[in-house]
Amino acid sequence: MSADDAELDELVNDFVTESREHLAQVESDLLGLEASGEAPEEATNRVFRAVHSVKGVAGFLGLENINRLAHSLESVLDLMRKGRLEPDAGLVDVLLGAIDRLREMIEAVGASDGMLIDDQLTRLAAYLEGDAQQVRKVAPPSVEVPPGHWLLQLSVATSRLALEFGVDAPQLVEEIARVGTLQSGAAELMRAVDEGSREAVVVVLSTASTPEEVIERLRLESGEVTVLREALGGVAEAAPRPAPRQEAAAPTAAAAPQPAPAGVKPAAAEPPSATPSPAPGRDNKDKEAAGSPAKRADAHQESIRVSVELLDRLMNLSGELVLGRNQLLQALDSGNDKGVETSSGRLNQVISEMQEAVMRTRMQPIGTLFQRFPRVVRDLAGKLGKQCALDADGKEVELDRSILEALSDPLTHIVRNSVDHGMEMPDDRRAAGKQAEGCVRMAASQVGGNVRIEIVDDGRGIDPRRLREKAVERGVVTPAQAATMSDREAVNLIFAAGFSTAEKVTDVSGRGVGMDVVRSNIERLGGTVDVTSQLGVGTRLTITIPLTLAILPAMVIACGARRYVLAQANVAELVQIRDGEGAARIAELNGRELLRLRGSVIPLVRLRTVLGEPPAETRREPIVVVVESSKLRYGLVIDAPPDAEEIVVKPLSRHFKSRPEYAGATILGDGTVAMILDAVGIANRCDLGEVAEDLLGEASLREALDGDEAVDLVLFQNHPEDTFAVPLGLVDHIRRVSPQDVREVGGRTVLAEQDRALPIVMLDRVVPSRPVGDAKVLSVLMLRIHDQTFGVVASGVEDIKRVAVQVDDRTLAMEGVIGSFQYEGRTVRLLDAGAVAQAALPHCFTAAPPKKQDAAPQRAPRVLFAEDTRFFRQHVSKVLQGAGFEVTEAEDGDDAWQALERGESFDIVVTDIQMPNCDGLQLTRRIRGSAQHRDLPVVALTSLSSDEDQSDGRAAGVTAYLIKLDDAALVAAVRNYMGALV
């Protein structure tokens, strides 16, 4: 192969790659045009430009057929661009048909000149004809062409040519006249030049020169010249011929145009039987015969586009490689063992990175595959008389191109199936109460080490009963098997060999080879496919493909001495549990930790436990990775904030397959190996599925966990038989002390510390209870009330529980106790911490409350308090009244609002957040929205105060956010805001 040939091949390759992209873009734009029903300039221009550039390059490369079809397309598009044609469905059909043909020719570029394009040309010409009066005028049918002359139609871009030749209008006409005789269009040409019009003028020229020569002499582009009639006789032979095969056909082609009206675009004039006319291409190199198409087709090699950034990276890495080699050689020369080690380590890393980068060059977004489907759906729906749209999500998910290619056929089949079998006719859909237009949704996402592709339609669904019947009928399963099958299994029968879901065989799908081939193709890629369907509602096909080669955006998580990787796709969010917040947000249920997240509860898994690592020694603020996969959501507790890194999944030996925790392994940037965690596998191993079901199944539990009435309590024992609870919000921290540190000093109990004595309470002195027994270690719950810290001694702290407080405040009413409730078969008394503090340590708390009292207004400050739970309502009222406020209770936000509207005056509003009818935030918004009450301070009480809640509250206009049962803080806050007011 000569250098020239190689160069040409290269050009052809580039052309193919580029054209492919152009056409893909064209297709989606055309579909968009059709959908919008008009021709937005931008999209039409884009289409026009794309076709134009295909045309241009094809002309340059002498790809005559491609050039002609593109030219014809371009002409029609030009009309659209000028608003002379509306892109209705018919036109778009024709355009798409032509684009298809163009694509076929481009894919078999070497053989393109042998392919028939007459049909497409005729159809396109029909549209041109509608607008062809002008053209007719310029080229009357009765043109007499001398023998040996060509009749050419030129599209003359006057402004360009005038510029190029540096001439004015008459000169340009002269210039053209020198080449041949202007049969028509001279006047238009003059006018266009004079007006400086940018639009091309179509003229007809008869000339003894070959089109090539005309192109050259008039500095036209090959696409701007169309052969209307070929030169007859000996002169024509002088024209170079691209291939003998076509030469054989030339007489027919040459003879054919005679009966055709010359004025119509030549495309229309081509009789269907004619092979493409042998208008000469520019490349005279490609003369050698019939073998050439095949040769070209072979020579055409696939190419893909690689981002410059990636190339730069490769370049950079290869530079590093050279550097590493030099260092290694140097170290070897000087016998520097250490140096050898260092530089080979370095090389190792560089090469790894290089390998990654090379792999990345192969990655392509799945969008390149998806973008063909709107077309597939459109055509098919049109053919079947259905209405159907296609939605695609996750186009940016990258897959190795080999996988993408292999997915193409299965996906096409599935989508066609969805439209053909899944979609009902528009009337049926309306009858079923659906929109006439159905929708097929394709979505790609990365899930762990896999890419998941879902194809969901909202069609009629699959009838498992029918499938069972048919499966039995066709001997796919026995009647007994069919009877024991679940519906889900039955629906999956569509994948059985030789099983077509078609009720009747159509030409669209259902030819017997079908979903079984789809399944085997996907399984060949190491993937799985699953179908679920709901009769009358729709069908969902889920394809899961391992992204063995895929680049995975991932989080690198340190655990113990090692690092692990979790696919970013699994991560919904990161939640940092701050020091004080930990206990409030992490609750426990049946031995399982749960995280409260914006009103929902998700199970927690500690990564250390999963990996068999000992619990973290230092008590750092834990970070929860909220993991989301198809069926579950849970929190993975990790030690430290993760790093983001892009990783390449490396194949693992089969030994790891049986461990559900791992999805694979990777090599991190620094060359170390890290296992990729499998979010679903971890969940399965921890039986999280069960928890989720528990939560769903038992309404009471959910209520207990979700309801605002639930409260985080620290449960502890004074005596093993006496269990108490204290709101977590009041507990500052818990200490473990030895009994000898608890001392009696002057009738008071203190905890001896190095430089001071902390006041503490033995509960049995305050509340009827048995004393703390002999214990080697005592726990002291340090409570903070009115900015004073004191301890409550306990024999043991049981746990922090989130419990539904259905507090009975009567049965066990006594000093220091708010009430009691039942928990796991025991009676737990809820401590009134404030009362306990006051009773036990009067000296600590006498001074604090009256402090503000001095500045208090004459009348008792009035508090409007909205709370739907009786217990809290009574409790908080009691607390506020105890602090000297006058409290008006309201059962919900509405109630409270009515109180305000009645004209009662209040100094402050205290409200629960979650209430029926009108919740706390709504109430706040109403207050802020009213002229009269706008300035009232609003204190919101909630059992959980997360950042999101708080920002919601702030947005609504809440003045302060407090945690329920933190009575001291409430009193302080009410005082504080009231102080500001008074």
Residue numbers at the binding site for other proteins (CB under 8 A) = 348, 351-352, 355-356, 562, 610-613, 650-659, 661-662, 665, 667, 671-675
Distances from the Cα of 701 to the Cα of 428, 449, 590, angstroms: 43, 34, 11
Closest CA to 110 of 303, 292, 302, 301: 292
Between 351 and 537, name the residue whose CB sits nearer to other proteins: 351
Between 383 and 656, name the residue whose CB sits nearer to other proteins: 656
Sheet with 796-804: list strands edge to edge.
Answer: 796-804, 710-717, 723-727, 826-831, 817-823
Between 122 and 343, name the residue whose CB sits nearer to other proteins: 343
Closest CA to 923 of 949, 900, 889: 900
Cβ at position 592, least distance to other proteins in Å: 20
DSSP string, 541-556: EEEEEE-TT-EEEEEE
Cβ at position 334, least distance to other proteins in Å: 22
Cβ at position 350, least distance to other proteins in Å: 10
Cβ at position 675, least distance to other proteins in Å: 6
Q: CB under 8 Å to 238, separation ≥6 — which residues?
A: 210
DSSP string, 701-742: HHHHHHSTTEEEEEEEESSTT-EEEEEGGGEEEEEEE-GGGE
Between 34 and 356, name the residue whose CB sits nearer to other proteins: 356
Cβ at position 562, least distance to other proteins in Å: 7
Q: Which helix (H) or strand (E) element contains residue 693?
A: helix 688-697
Between 326 and 348, name the residue whose CB sits nearer to other proteins: 348
Cα 649 from Cα 673, distance rounded (Å): 11
Between strands 633-638 and 600-606, the pairing is parallel
Helices (H), 827-962: 833-840, 842-845, 850-853, 870-882, 893-901, 920-929, 947-956
Cβ at position 671, least distance to other proteins in Å: 6
Between 613 and 889, name the residue whose CB sits nearer to other proteins: 613
Between 271 and 560, name the residue whose CB sits nearer to other proteins: 560
Cβ at position 521, least distance to other proteins in Å: 21
Tokens in use for 558?
């340190």
Cβ at position 614, least distance to other proteins in Å: 11
Contact 593, 604 (CB under 8 A): yes
Cα 39 from Cα 30, distance rounded (Å): 9
Distances from the Cα of 915 to the Cα of 634, 871, 941, angstroms: 28, 14, 11
Between 297 and 321, name the residue whose CB sits nearer to other proteins: 321
Cα 761 from Cα 840, distance rounded (Å): 6
Between 499 and 662, name the residue whose CB sits nearer to other proteins: 662
Q: What is the 3-state secondary structure (H, E, C) of 464-497?
A: HHHHHHHHHHCCCCCHHHHHHCCHHHHHHHHHCC
Between 356 and 398, name the residue whose CB sits nearer to other proteins: 356
Between 462 and 667, name the residue whose CB sits nearer to other proteins: 667
Q: CB under 8 Å to 322, separation ≥6 — which residues?
A: none
Reduced to 3 states (helix: H, G, I; strand: E, B; else coil), residue 202 is strand
Cβ at position 355, least distance to other proteins in Å: 5
Closest CA to 597 of 565, 572, 567, 561: 572
Cβ at position 656, least distance to other proteins in Å: 7
Phi-psi category of 202—alpha, beta or left, where left has phi over 0 and alpha has psi -120 to 50?
beta
Between 351 and 856, name the residue whose CB sits nearer to other proteins: 351
Cβ at position 667, least distance to other proteins in Å: 5
Burial class (CB in 10 A: 0-12, 13-18, 19+), 612: exposed
Cβ at position 523, least distance to other proteins in Å: 18
Tokens in use for 237?
């032979």
